[in-house]
């Protein structure tokens, strides 16, 4: 299969082509896959349904084995499209713990990190 990035997938409904597009996408496009839903009060406040997940955001896990847990984002892996939340770890058979990556679509942002002034400005502009 061709490994180069192509935007031709958009007209295709084949899951195979969509997965290939997401896997081979450059990082500036993979960043757009990091969107997570906002909580209901944030949706009313800012008039947006979703926002890109960033480090230090407070999130709630909506699906998977850790659903219902709340924590801060400790790391965002752009290449693998995974978000790592503090204290969400898998315990291996030998007793060691490893961080567990969660897809951003399975998260809900409860409290965004507003240390970046540009992020605040963009949210305020959408009102």
The answer as to whether 6 is a domain residue is no
Into how many domains does the chain fold?
1
- Helix, strand and coil content of the chain, in percent to the nearest 5, comes to 30, 30, 35
Cβ atoms of 73 and 59 closer than 8 Å = yes
Handedness of CA 32, 6, 103, 71 (dihedral sign): negative
The answer as to whether 2 is a domain residue is no
C-beta atoms surrounding 42 within 10 Å:
19
pLDDT digits 0-9 by tens, 89-101: 999 999 999 999 9
The pTM of the full predicted model, rounded to 2 decimals, is 0.85
CATH code at position 82: 2.30.30.30
Position 80 scores a pLDDT of 94
- Phi and psi at 111, nearest 5°, equal -140, 100
In whole angstroms, give the CA distance from residue 107 to residue 81. 13
Position 14 scores a pLDDT of 87
Position 105 scores a pLDDT of 94
The answer as to whether 63 is a domain residue is yes
Spans of the chain below 50 pLDDT? none
């Amino acid at each position: 299969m061709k490994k180069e990035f192509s935007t031709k997938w958009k007209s295709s409904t084949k899951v195979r082509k969509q997965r290939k597009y997401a896997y081979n996408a450059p990082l500036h496009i993979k960043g757009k896959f990091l969107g997570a839903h906002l909580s209901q009060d944030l949706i009313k406040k800012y008039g947006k349904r979703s926002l890109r997940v960033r480090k230090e955001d407070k999130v709630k896990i909506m699906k998977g084995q850790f659903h219902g847990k709340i924590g801060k984002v400790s790391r965002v892996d752009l290449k693998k499209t995974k978000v790592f939340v503090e204290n969400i770890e898998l315990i291996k058979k030998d007793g060691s713990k490893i961080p567990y990556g969660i897809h951003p679509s399975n998260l809900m942002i409860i409290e965004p990190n507003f240390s970046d002034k540009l992020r605040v400005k963009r949210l305020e502009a959408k009102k």
